[in-house]
Structure 1
Amino acid sequence: MRRSCYSIPPVHGTMKRSLPISLSHILLAFCLHLLCFVDRCKAQAASNATTDPSEVRAFNAIFQQWNLSASDEWNISGEPCNGIAVDSSTISNPGIKCNCSSNGGSTCHITQIKLQGLQLRGVIPEELQNLTFLTDLVLRSNNFSGLLPSELRLLPSLQQLDVSSNNFFGSVQLGNLPSLQQLNITHNSYAAELPPELGNLLSLQQLDISHNNYSGWLPPQLGEFVKSAAIDISHTNFANWLPPELGKLSSLQQLDISSNNFIGTLPPQLGNLESLQQLNISYNNVNDSLPLELGNLASLRLLAISANNFSGLLPPELGNFTSLQELFQVQPVAPKLLTTQ
């Protein structure tokens, strides 16, 4: 006899007292078995669905170029979207996840790829552009090099792109990804200017471009990231003045611009960041006095302003930092908001 997906606890006590409880147990059993039936139907439908042929070809081409073999846990009989690739578990590494709800549940699309810390080499193949349903691409901590292919801009559903800790270089041409929410390119070899087209990433919530060697100014178009909660541009060699457009980031909670070559005064528009909780401007060449408008940052918990060229007295408005927990005079190790799967 097949065991039920769910077990129902026994009912104790007299018949008279247990009658209402038994009724509730019957209702509970019905609901649980209904859920079990639905889960089995979903699993059966997913097992009968097949992956879009164009995505299978692209997937195989990508794995061949990277000398990878698909896992038997999800690539069953040459069908990528199978096994753990279609269940509710967290994506494995290496691994993929698929959505099999298209065409009445008969077609699967690859939605997530995770290949982290596998010492992979080479470039990102252009075949990736055929995975148009991809939402998450995590390739961090490998040895990839070259340019990020412009074909990435043809992935309209992409929400997370993490290529951190590789050897990518050149210019970051990703300005046409309308769904992108997380971009992590820290610890690469970028040395060019940031293109103003990055300002087109209007859905961006988390940006980490730290530990590179950019040139030129910080583009004012970063002020278009009005949904961003965390921006880390530390250790990137940016110079000149901070753009006042940063004051438009009303949702920003963490801003780390430490260890750069910024000069001049802090823009008073930073006082508009009423959601800001962490501000690190350590190790720059910012001078003059702190703007009075910083006193508007009532949510600020961490403030690091050491190793600059400030002058004058601290403005009394800083006494409005009623939530401040840490004021650093040396370079802090601030907690990160940016996370990936």
Structure 2
Amino acid sequence: MAGCNLNEFPAFLEKLDSLAELDLSHNSLSGYIPEWFLGSRLQTLSYLNLSGNSLMGFPRDLSYYNSSQLESIDLRFNKLRGSLPLPSRQPPIYLVSNNMLSGEIPPEICGTDGNFFSVLDLSKNNFTGELPQCFGQLNWNLDVLALHSNNFRGRIPSFCSSGGSYHTPKMIDLSDNQFEGPLPRSLSNCSSITFLNVGNNKINDSFPSWLGSLPNLGVLILRSNYFHGGIEEPESGSVFPQLQIIDISFNYFQGSLPASYFQYWRYMEEYGHENTNYLSAYMFGPWVVANDYPIYDFSMTIINKGVEMEYRKILGYFKVLDLSSNNFTGNIPGSISSLHGLHLLNISNNLLTGSIPPSLGALTRLEALDLSRNDLSGEIPQQLTELKSISLLNVSYNNLSGPIPKGNQFDTFPNNSYWGNPRLCGDPLSRKCGSSMLLSPPSQKDEGPDAQFEVEWKAVAAGYAVTFVMGIVIGHKMITKHASWFAKTFGLRQLMRRR
């Protein structure tokens, strides 16, 4: 009965005593879920999907109603208000994201019998306070924990603290909150984890090299925190063996780029176009086969050039390396060219020196390369014309010189790809090689080039994101939370050098 434009719960449902599965998603249901429905049907249902309506809540605490048979309840994309509604028995799958729920998460969420959800999605609400410490003390059956886009604070619980070989989560997303302190070292026990996102918090720690032993970790997002210090050379050759997406942008890392890591990230070396599946976790239950709803898709947000893009699905072969907006120094290591499978490479807004390695031309899958706002010098290597898949190149605001290469994609890049390099010459710049004309780059505050780059980044991302949200990230939240981010984004490099 999904998508049938219903504006009330059908009365005949009260008489269906054997009803086990019900899908009323994407209708026009509003107000409170009726008492008669909760009293008569919740006790028989194993699967209930009410997502995509305008429901506001329950007439009394959800725990009042018998839900002993419930395996999955989906309340996403409604208008639920108040505190988190907890069923009398915790269903394996509980989805309440994209509502207006608030308050703290009660300790009762952990139950009394040691059982826990296998999929728990509380994301995109208004929850506050600290997470119950019992989160780190359970022998979970958890596969997916999505708590992003709330106002949680305090330290991250010690997930997987018991060690051993018990079931560990595949996905943890704590991004866009107010978590602080270091990452719990117990995360190194989460041997099954494939996706870890703690971006946009207040985490203060060094680079978590100790996560490198996790055999399945494919996505690691640390962006927009207070990570700091240098990235030390790995102690062994087997570190992050399955890593395909790493985003450590908008932090305080310094020192040389981690050249040895690039040599050991074997999965990024593979082209991987045969893997067209989306990154996800299976959600098991007796209703799976009948409803063709077996997976929970992972999602992420990447920020580039002030553009926020939400990838609600991530293709299995999509590979990203974002080290931008830190304080890295030294040369770009040639070992980065061994990552043949990369699609996006962003090392902009650092303090890098030396020349652009010609070996970057070997990254033939690359679709976006951003080296802007560094202190790179020398000529743009002719070998970069071999990047036939690239749709965005940005080398602006460096100290590059000589002629701009010609051929292939280089004939399509706009002149703002090269601004801020007064000794560069050739098309598309107004200064032709051999001419005495001086290039006068527009002000960095000019909205024209930024807007053009936003469109180009959008085009790069469209091939991989089923849908994305685009915005200029200069809002109050980011300014107050990460003042240094604001400074970096607008090119105030002197502030970075004083840190």
Equivalent pair of 1:145/1:168 in contact (CA under 8 Å): yes
Aligned residue in 1 for 2:214: 177
Separation (CA, whole Å) in 2 of partners of 1:225 and 1:325: 30
> Among residues 349, 354, 370, which one is paired with 1:264 in the alignment?
354
Deviation at 1:170, TM superposition (A): 2.5
Give 1:221 deviation, angstroms.
2.5
Q: Cα deviations across residues 103-147 of structure 1 (Å, max 9, x unaligned)?
A: xxxx97111112223322222233543474211111112222222
The alignment's TM-score, normalised by the length of structure 2, stands at 0.48
Matches of 1:290 and 1:243, distance apart in 2:
16
- SS of 1:194's partner is coil
Query: What is the deviation of 1:71?
Result: 8.5
Aligned to 1:321: 409
Q: Which amino acid aligns with 1:139?
A: L
Is the Cα contact below 8 Å between 1:111 and 1:133 reproduced in 2?
yes
Is structure 2 residue 152 aligned with structure 1 residue 120?
Answer: yes
Which residue of the partner structure matches residue 250 of structure 1? 340
Distance in 1, matches of 2:414 and 2:187, equals 40
Of 239-248 and 147-156, the range deviating more from structure 2: 147-156
Equivalent of 2:387 in 285, 290, 297 = 297
Tell me if structure 2 keeps the 8 A contact 1:51–1:109.
no
Distance 2:147 2:328 in 1: 31
Q: Does 1:91 align with 2:121?
A: yes
The reply on whether 1:134 has 2:169 as its aligned counterpart is: yes
User: Which residue is equivalent to 1:34?
Assistant: none
**Percentage identity across paired residues of the two chains:** 26
SS state of the match for residue 196, structure 2? strand
Contact 2:376 2:398 (8 Å CA) reproduced: yes
In the other structure, the counterpart of 2:261 is 222
Q: Is the 8 A contact 1:146 1:167 kept in 2?
A: yes
CA RMSD of aligned residues (A): 3.9
1:45-194 map, 5 Å:
68-69=105-106, 81=116, 91-93=121-123, 109-130=141-162, 132-173=167-208, 174-194=211-231
1:234 and 2:324 are equivalent in the alignment: yes
Tell me the secondary structure at the aligned position of residue 214 of structure 1: strand
Distance of 2:413 and 2:379 partners within structure 1? 22
Secondary structure of the equivalent of 1:186? coil
Instruction: Provide the C-alpha distance between the structure 2 equivalents of 1:170 and 1:322, rounded to a whole number of angstroms.
Output: 40
- The one-letter code sitting in structure 2 at the alignment partner of 1:162 is N
* AA in 1 matched with 2:408: N
Q: Is 1:208 the equivalent of 2:247?
A: yes
Q: Which runs of 5+ in 2 are unaligned?
A: 1-14, 23-45, 49-67, 73-88, 93-102, 128-138, 269-318, 420-448, 469-499
What's the CA shift string for 1:237-259, capped at 9, x where partnerless? 11110110110111100011111
State the 1:149 CA deviation. 2.1
Where 1:196 maps in the other structure, the secondary structure is: coil
Q: Please say if 1:311 is aligned against 2:343.
A: no
Corresponding residue of 2:370: 280
Question: Letter of the aligned partner of 2:244 in structure 1?
Answer: Q
Structure number having the greater helix percentage: 1
Q: Are residues 70 and 114 of structure 1, via their aligned partners in 2, closer, same or farther at CA, if it must alter by over 3 Å? A: farther
Separation in structure 2 between the aligned mates of residue 119 and residue 234 of structure 1, nearest angstrom:
26
- Mapped to 1, the partners of 2:229 and 2:350 lie a distance apart of 15
Distance 1:121 1:289, change over 3 A: same
Tell me the distance in 2 between the aligned counterparts of 1:271 and 1:127: 42
Gaps spanning 5+ residues in structure 1: where? Answer: 7-37, 53-65, 96-106
Q: What secondary structure is seen at the aligned counterpart in 2 of 1:245?
A: helix
Residues 302 and 226 of structure 1: CA distance in aligned 2, closer, same or farther (over 3 Å): farther
Would you say the 8 A contact 1:231–1:255 is kept in 2? yes
Query: How far apart are the structure 2 equivalents of 1:80 and 1:118?
Result: 25
TM-score computed with the length of structure 1 as normaliser: 0.68
In structure 2, relative to structure 1, the CA distance for the partners of 1:270 and 1:166 (3 Å cut) is: same
What are the superposed Cα offsets for residues 301-340 of structure 1, whole Å, 9 maximum, x if unpaired? 0111110111111233xx1227956662456443485989
How far apart, CA to CA, are the structure 2 residues paired with 1:71 and 1:283? 50
Post-superposition offset of 1:91: 3.3
